[in-house]
Structure 1
Amino acid sequence: MQARRILIFTGGRLGEWALPLIQEDDYVIGADRGAYYLVSHQIRPNLAIGDFDSVTQAEMEFLRQECEHVEACDPIDKDFTDTELAFRYAMAQHPREIILIGALGTRFDHSLANIHLLKTAVDHNVPVSIVDEHNRVRVITDRLLLQKADEYAHVSLLPLTTEVTGIDLEGFRYPLQDATLKIGQSLGISNVIEAKEGSIRIRSGLLLVIESKD
């Protein structure tokens, strides 16, 4: 699976917007309810993984018929969320990129835990993003170039470490030069790219880059 892109569909907010994200060569994982979402939309996951406590027995039988492989675990005797189980499996495949879909939802604890998975991806030098209908979330340690596009109107920056230093923004409505962001500050919220591309550079720390649309 070296150099393949892996998409993980998990049990948060999902909708018709998510299906066009799948490309022909992607390896597709469904985590718990995310697997049922895929098969109910005629998408055959390469792997369904989780404790499947959010599906009925009939839905589970359908999953076993429609997925290439199913890996079920005990809902009590496990240390990780279903999303992290899928994420750890994906990381072990040394992929080119991982995209988490449905990783944000009504359970804020799960949403925040999934954001924290981006830090693990940085530690292993694997590009990972979280995508939903209104947002794309990434973490950077050095530089990121963003193209001006109608898809995302806003770009927000939030520190994932205690502070992020040496922040330079070019091509944005509100530029920054050698700035520092600390946890608890909202200085980086709702910027806008006004040039053809926006450049973000940092010197130290982990910076969340959140592209959003209303």
Structure 2
Amino acid sequence: MKRCIIITAYLKKSIRQSLRLHDDDFIICADGGYELAKKEGIVPHIVIGDFDSGNAPEKDSETVIHVPVEKDDTDTLLCLKYGIEKGFHVFGIVGGIGGRLDHTIANLQALSYGCDLGKYVVLLNGNNVVTMLNPGTIQIQKRKGYKLSLFSYTEYCKNVTIKGVKYPLTNALLDHSFPIGVSNEILEEEATLSFDKGKLLVMFSRDN
């Protein structure tokens, strides 16, 4: 399945350290993300932003969308909405974690926005891989050197069960004010996760 990759303006590691690009990826740069892509020789299909965090590329108007500085949506959310309008279902948002806290939270909310529309959106920055899930059952592949954490993004996530981990849960209630799901470990090649109500923030993290 073709992916839509969104490159944000803040990223400590390189783009290619954060994810492996595919030849058929559709690449959008959010504002100053264009400068990061340019440094790595990555040519985006389109650049969207108000360009308050970087210079607008010298390209045809068909490949650059200028938006006002004063607006409701962040540049990253505008990129996500653009990709959704183009029919993509799988998104990788590169960067956007660990800089300004307000931007990090806004990007987590972008995950929630995509989740509400049934899209699979992942936020990556080299040390973290974050996604948002609706109720169901999934297999989670182990990532060597990473800790797995589960957080309730809604007030509650009900009947959370996770097997194949160091600290299993069975029909647990996770709420948004107690971090019981932090820093778990997958013991084998994959773990099984299920829950039946709420939105769950799933995060792989490692130290620098």
> Do the two structures share a fold, i.e. TM-score over 0.5?
yes
**Structure 2 length-normalised TM:** 0.92
Query: Of 148, 151, 160, which aligns to 1:158?
Result: 151
Q: What is the DSSP-based 3-state SS (H/G/I as helix, E as strand, rest coil) of the residue aligned with 2:58?
A: helix
* 1:135-214 equivalent positions in 2, closer than 5 A: 135-141=128-134, 142-150=136-144, 152-214=145-207
Identity fraction in percent: 29
| SS across alignment from 1:13 | coil
Please give the secondary structure, in 2, of the residue aligned with 1:21.
Answer: coil
1: CA distance between counterparts of 2:61 and 2:159?
A: 47
**Residues 148-189 of structure 1, C-alpha deviation per residue, up to 9 Å, x if partnerless?**
231x42100000000101011110011111100111111100
Give TM-score scaled by structure 1 length: 0.89
SS at the partner of 1:178?
A: strand
The CA distance in 1 between the partners of 2:141 and 2:117, in whole Å, is: 26
Q: Does 1:22 align with 2:16?
A: no
Instruction: Tell me: CA distance 1:70–1:17, structure 2 relative to 1, closer, same or farther (3 Å).
Output: closer
Are the aligned partners of 1:165 and 1:202 in contact in 2 as well (CA < 8 Å)? yes
Q: Structure 1, residues 129-162: CA drift from partner, whole Å, max 9, x if none?
A: 1011111101112222112231x42100000000
RMSD of the TM alignment (CA)?
Answer: 1.8
Name which of 84, 92, 107 aligns with 1:91. Answer: 84
The secondary structure found in structure 1 opposite 2:106 is helix
Among candidates 38, 41, 63, match of residue 69 of structure 1: 63
Q: Which amino acid aligns with 2:107?
A: N
CA apart distance, 1:66: 8.9
Whether 2:5 is the aligned partner of 1:4: answer no
Q: Number of paired residues?
A: 205
**CA distance in structure 2 between the partners assigned to 1:84 and 1:181 by the alignment:** 27
Larger mean Cα displacement after TM superposition, 82-91 or 23-32: 82-91
Structure 1 residues 149 and 119 mapped into 2: Cα distance closer, same or farther (>3 Å)? closer
195 and 169 in structure 1: CA distance in 2 versus 1, 3 angstrom threshold: same
1:67 is displaced (CA, Å) by 9.5
Contact map agreement 2:15 2:37 (CA 8 A) in 1: no
Contact 1:46 1:67 in 2 (8 A): no
Distance 1:42 1:67 in 2: 21
Instruction: Please identify which structure carries the higher helix content.
Output: 1
Superposed displacement of residue 195, structure 1: 2.2
SS of residue paired to 2:83: helix
Q: Output the CA distance in 2 between the equivalents of 1:91 and 1:14.
A: 27
Give, in whole Å, the separation in 2 of the partners of 1:198 and 1:83: 31
Gaps of at least 5 residues in structure 2 are: none
| Greater mean alpha carbon deviation, residues 129-138 or residues 117-126 | 117-126
Structure 2 match to 1:48: 47
User: How far apart, CA to CA, are the structure 1 residues paired with 2:199 and 2:166?
Assistant: 22
Distance in 1, matches of 2:183 and 2:133, equals 18
Q: Separation in 2 of the partners of 1:36 and 1:167?
A: 41
Q: Confirm or deny: 8 A CA contact 1:45 1:68 kept in the other structure.
A: no
Structure 1 stretches of at least 4 aligned residues deviating more than 6 Å after TM superposition: none
Q: Per the alignment, in what secondary structure is the counterpart of residue 64 of structure 1?
A: coil
